[in-house]
Amino acid sequence: MFLKLSSPPPITLLLMIVNGLIFAYGILSNSQDQIISHYGFVPDNLFRYNHPLSDNIIRLFSSMFIHANIAHIAFNLLALAYLGGFAERSIGKPRYLLIYLSAGVAGALLHGIIASFILGNGSSVLIGASGAISGIMGITAALGDIRGYYWLAIQILFAFVGSFASISIAFMAHVGGFIAGLLLTKLLIEIERKKRKGYWSYSQ
């Protein structure tokens, strides 16, 4: 008798491959710095300077697929592999991808607002999938894993400390991504609950 292995979650696997290929291309072609410069998100370009809106929108999405070094991408891909499968199977592929991308954008925007208007370092480039992956953690929290809230509290603490210690990690992007993932998942759960309630009311 053979054990039946579950198939890998396709969206999570695709996201890991895309992130890995972009990083590998940048390293092998020696164009990593150019990729970061051309496709990373610069908050001041959106909030302070008159850069084209289309360019800022592209960078909001493209920045979440760019990583600075091996440690950066390895940590994010491990987190994605660990969290993604459960979240994807729990809410479905389209919703999972929607929340992943939305959380990445929300995290970048929250980081950008604070960087540009409070900390005054909005000229620094933001890259990485951490905000989007934090959104996945928000999904798991919305589904009942209370450890996600402890993680959120730690990120807020780190963000506060980091604002004084000049730590280069964008902790507020983590916070924004988590909150977006949490709220969007709760919204989807509520919509699904009302649909089912309406169905049963109609059936009866």
Domains of the chain: 10-198 (1.20.1540.10)
Question: Per the residue annotation, which of 63, 102, 116, 130 is the catalytic one?
Answer: 130
pLDDT at residue number 160: 79
What would the pLDDT profile of 87-128 be if each residue is shown by its tens digit?
A: 999 999 999 999 999 999 999 999 999 999 998 999 999 999
Residue 5 pLDDT more than 50?
no
For the chain, the DSSP string reads ----PPPPPHHHHHHHHHHHHHHHHHHHTT-HHHHHHHHSB-HHHHHTS---HHHHHHHHHHGGG--SSHHHHHHHHHHHHHHHHHHHHHH-HHHHHHHHHHHHHHHHHHHHHHIIIIIS-TTSPB--SHHHHHHHHHHHHHTT-THHHHHHHHHHHHHHHHHHHT--S-HHHHHHHHHHHHHHHHHHHHHHHHHHHHHHHHH-
Task: Mark whether 174 is an active-site residue.
Answer: yes
Residue 1 pLDDT more than 60?
no
pLDDT at residue number 4: 42
Residue 29 pLDDT more than 90?
yes
Task: Mark whether 134 is an active-site residue.
Answer: no
Q: What is the pTM of this model?
A: 0.90
